[in-house]
């Protein structure tokens, strides 16, 4: 299994560490590819667009020809994609930011930085359908202002924070900043056309 992480900026290594932990736990090799050029998208089993600065990530994936290649991989080849924080902004249909053209992979409208500035970051335990209670980390997080044809997997204060449409999931929070691997396991489960995980013990700690 080969999973690519858009590798220009943001929580790239944190996602890679999660995949390494799952690989070791399952005894299955997960090869992690940092996507920085078009050829890196070939032969991938899944793609992660991490949190970071959406305008910077968008500019670089356009500059290096990766933007359209990701859309083709997801829509034409059925490759599962997970977008977290900045990643869900780029995957959305409406970013509400003239600097970032959404990929239209999720029928949602985004409200940027809806939960405040960096110093207003917070952790909230939320219930995710198919996963259970999960420590969601919000850092300068966007909000999903409205949803169209998507399945809402988790909400916070009547706002969707995790959605899915077929082979694409988007989260406004950062699962990679915890020691809980279940969201990433859910994503890996999507590679086989599913998206469920076995229940079990998990950590509720948050990485500093």
Q: Is residue 46 part of a domain?
A: yes
Q: Residue 196: is its pLDDT beyond 50?
A: no
pLDDT at residue 195, rounded to an integer: 55
**Helix (H) or strand (E) run with residue 63 in it:** helix 54-63
Q: Is residue 48 part of a domain?
A: yes
Q: Is 69 a residue of the active site?
A: no
Q: Is residue 205 part of a domain?
A: no
Total domain count, the chain: 1
Find the range with the poorest average confidence among 1-5, 29-33, 118-122, 141-145.
118-122
Look up residue 175 and give its DSSP letter: G
The active-site residue out of 14, 15, 69, 85 is 85
The active-site residue out of 14, 15, 69, 174 is 174
Residue 96's CB is within 10 A of a number of other CB atoms, namely 14
Report residue 80 as tokens: 């599962």
Q: Is residue 63 part of a domain?
A: yes
CATH number at residue 104: 3.40.50.880
Longest dimension (CA), the chain: 44
In this prediction, residue 146 has a pLDDT band, given cuts at 50, 70 and 90, of: very high
The per-residue pLDDT for range 52-96, each reduced to its tens digit, is 999 999 999 999 999 999 999 999 999 999 999 999 999 999 999
Report residue 165 as tokens: 């449409």
Cα–Cα dist 174/135, whole Å: 9
pLDDT at residue 158, rounded to an integer: 87
The active-site residue out of 14, 176, 184, 185 is 176
Q: Is 174 a residue of the active site?
A: yes
Q: Is residue 25 part of a domain?
A: yes
Find the range with the poorest average confidence among 106-110, 115-119, 186-190.
115-119
Q: Is residue 204 part of a domain?
A: no
Q: Is 111 a residue of the active site?
A: no
Which domain covers residue 184, as residue numbers? 2-191
Q: Is residue 207 part of a domain?
A: no
Provide the pairing of β-strand 159-165 with 151-156.
antiparallel
Task: Give bridge partners of residue 46 from the DSSP assignment.
Answer: 3
């Amino acid at each position: 299994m080969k999973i690519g992480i858009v590798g220009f900026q943001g929580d790239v290594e944190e996602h890679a560490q999660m995949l390494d932990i799952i690989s070791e736990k399952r005894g299955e090799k997960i090869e992690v590819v940092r996507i920085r050029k078009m050829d890196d998208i070939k032969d991938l089993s899944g793609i992660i667009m991490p949190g970071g600065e959406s305008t910077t990530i968008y500019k670089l994936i356009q500059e290096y020809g990766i933007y359209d290649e990701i859309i083709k991989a997801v829509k034409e080849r059925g490759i599962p994609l997970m977008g977290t924080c900045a990643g869900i902004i780029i995957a959305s249909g409406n970013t509400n930011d003239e600097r970032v053209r959404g990929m239209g992979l999720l029928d949602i409208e985004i409200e940027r930085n809806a939960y405040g500035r960096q110093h207003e970051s917070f952790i909230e335990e939320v219930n995710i359908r198919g996963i259970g209670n999960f420590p969601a980390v919000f850092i300068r997080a966007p909000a999903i202002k409205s949803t169209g044809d998507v399945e809402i997997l988790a909400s916070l204060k009547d706002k969707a924070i995790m959605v899915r449409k077929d082979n694409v999931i988007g989260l406004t929070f950062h699962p990679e900043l915890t020691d809980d691997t279940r969201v990433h396991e859910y994503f890996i489960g999507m590679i086989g056309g599913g998206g469920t995980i076995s229940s079990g013990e998990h950590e509720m700690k948050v990485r500093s």
